Amino acid sequence: MTRWLTIAICALFSLGAAACGEEEKKGGGGSGGGDLKGTIAIDGSSTVQPFAQAALELFQEENPDVRVTVGGAGTGDGFEKFCRGELDIADASRAIEDEETDACKKAGVAPAELQVANDGIAVVSNKGLPVKCMKTEQLKELFAPKSKVKSYSELGSGLPSKPVSLFSPGEESGTFDFFTETVLETDKEQRQEKVQTSPDDNVLVTGVSGESNALGYFGFSFYEQNKDKLGLVEVDGGSGCVAPSTATIQDGSYKPLSRPLFMYPSAKSIKKPQVKAFLDFVVKNQDKISTAAKIVPMTSEQATKSQQALTTAEQG
């Protein structure tokens, strides 16, 4: 009977060992191409996460032996870990703040800023709802957590006197975070009454296009794929009505619903060949990666700028 303990432990061990043994064989068969090795740890913004995941997937097609982990803890948490030296790259949906830079400096981590993509939200309406343009304040009034707006005309003249019917992505979405933060200036809160949320963008498109007085928002790339079914609402962020387009999102003139997305490698990590190769790959293939991750790519100027920033960081 004394053997049972040993046998139990051995059984558990062999289970693990068998699994690993099998894995190694499979891994060996699939390898080919790049001979880069090592690890890259990425964490941060959940908006950049799909981009980082798509990037690593395409990167691993050429470099199967580089081991990349991607997390989506959020921009702030990402920087916290990054400044402790736990990450090679921090994903961010905003520029690093002074406080964070200081925290990094104290720990001897030097962040380099690279823009990798752009993010934009489209405000859309049913084709039968005559809403051409809305001010940021009107959007805020409409979607605010305690909003009592029952008809669009309550928001100001020029808007139709139709009962409101709203659609938005759910709380788990980065688009929701971005919208509530910049337009509503709340911490992930918006009105619940008369708003239908869905994590599935397709449901939102069907809802807005099918319900006669519907208005809603979601990621710009998704609007583009369903252009013909939806009416587009221009947004006035203080300097006139601007329609979202790849161009206005890229140059930031579509305010306030556009923003650049970043990756922050540390100076130390950039010296690692696999991190350097990965970042080079990201900047060179940003168009392809953005398309795969369904977000707005950089302009060629932005890409050149990122390339320069990367070169400088590599040398410094």
Contact residues toward another protein (CB under 8 A) are 1-2, 4-5, 8-9, 12-13, 15-16, 19-20, 23-24, 27, 39, 41, 43, 49-50, 53-54, 56-58, 60, 67-73, 81, 84, 86, 169-170, 172-173, 199-202, 292-293
3-state SS, one letter per residue, for the chain: CCHHHHHHHHHHHHHHHHHHHHHHHHHHHHCCCCCCCEEEEEEECCCCHHHHHHHHHHHHHHCCCEEEEECCCCHHHHHHHHHCCCCCEEEECCCCCHHHHHHHHHCCCCECCEEEEEEEEEEEECCCCCCCEEEHHHHHHHHCCCCCCCEHHHHCCCCCCCECEEEEECCCCHHHHHHHHHHHCCCCCCCCCCEEEECCHHHHHHHHHHCCCEEEEEEHHHHHHCHHHCEEEEEECCCCEECCCHHHHHCCCCCCCEEEEEEEEEHHHHCCHHHHHHHHHHHHCHHHHHHHHCCECCCHHHHHHHHHHHHHHHHC
| Residue with Cβ nearer another protein (76 or 163) | 76
| Residue with Cβ nearer another protein (14 or 212) | 14
Minimum CB separation of residue 94 from another protein in Å reads 21
| Residue with Cβ nearer another protein (70 or 283) | 70
CA distance 152 to 163: 7
| Residue with Cβ nearer another protein (202 or 304) | 202
Minimum CB separation of residue 141 from another protein in Å reads 26
| Residue with Cβ nearer another protein (80 or 100) | 80
| Residue with Cβ nearer another protein (15 or 241) | 15
Minimum CB separation of residue 142 from another protein in Å reads 22
Q: Which two tokens stand for residue 74?
A: 């959020």
Minimum CB separation of residue 222 from another protein in Å reads 9
Closest by Cα among 116, 237, 239 to 182: 237
Are the C-beta atoms of residues 209 and 164 closer than 8 Å to each other? no
| Residue with Cβ nearer another protein (50 or 207) | 50
Minimum CB separation of residue 294 from another protein in Å reads 9
Q: Which residue has the tokens 């990402």?
A: 78
Strands 241-242 and 231-236: antiparallel
| Residue with Cβ nearer another protein (84 or 227) | 84
Minimum CB separation of residue 11 from another protein in Å reads 10
Minimum CB separation of residue 200 from another protein in Å reads 5
Minimum CB separation of residue 50 from another protein in Å reads 6
Are the C-beta atoms of residues 45 and 93 closer than 8 Å to each other? yes
